[in-house]
């Protein structure tokens, strides 16, 4: 069996952004990609408009690793901010990609919980390194222990965020 080649991070991110733009268009939103004009815009990737409403969208995409990297939030998110988590399917069929449409406020709380965990010492008593970023993982831990930042897929699905494009019209 041939081993899959690792995709460059920028290509995975660009795929996620284009996929989200396509989904927004499908749901009658008019998206504009910030990263087309400002490379890696700091706060948002896409702005979308529909019926006089504006959404500020951040896109995070993962492939094989099934995890998302987040910087710590400097400020509390606005009401019209959302984050779309794109999980690229392992096969070559885009129809199997998963989209989680999440209020950025919810992501903010998850990142804060992970950040609090990083302030606790390791089991050997040593301090953890704080790099100003944290990882949220879709998969659970192998030891089945519940920890902040792990088993994100379960919580996202429990909240009804999987494929929740119609929720955009309810906000």
Q: Name which of 31-45, 52-66, 95-109 the model is least confident about.
A: 31-45
pLDDT in tens, 153-166: 999 999 999 999 99
Q: pLDDT digit string (tens) for 112-127?
A: 888 888 888 888 999 8
pLDDT at 38: 54
| Segments making up each domain of the chain, as ranges | 9-169
CATH number, domain 9-169, options 2.60.40, 3.40.1350, 3.40.50, 2.20.25: 3.40.1350
Burial classification of residue 29, based on how many CB atoms lie within 10 Å of its CB (0-12 exposed, 13-18 middle, 19 or more buried): buried
- What is the model's pTM? 0.87
């Amino acid at each position: 069996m041939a081993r899959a080649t690792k995709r460059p991070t920028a290509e995975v991110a660009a795929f996620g952004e284009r996929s989200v733009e396509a989904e927004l268009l499908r749901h009658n939103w008019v998206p504009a990609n910030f990263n087309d004009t400002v490379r890696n815009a700091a706060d948002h990737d896409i702005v979308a408009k529909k019926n006089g409403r504006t959404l500020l969208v951040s896109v995070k995409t993962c492939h094989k690793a099934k995890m998302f990297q987040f910087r710590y939030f400097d400020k509390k998110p606005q009401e019209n901010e959302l984050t779309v988590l794109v999980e690229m399917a392992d096969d070559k069929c885009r129809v199997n990609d998963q989209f989680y449409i999440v209020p950025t406020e919810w992501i903010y709380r998850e990142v804060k919980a992970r950040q609090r965990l990083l302030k606790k010492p390791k089991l050997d008593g040593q301090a953890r390194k704080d790099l100003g970023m944290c990882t949220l993982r879709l998969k659970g831990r192998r030891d089945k222990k519940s920890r902040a930042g792990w088993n994100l897929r379960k919580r996202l699905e429990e909240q009804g965020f999987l494929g929740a494009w119609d929720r955009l019209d309810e906000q």
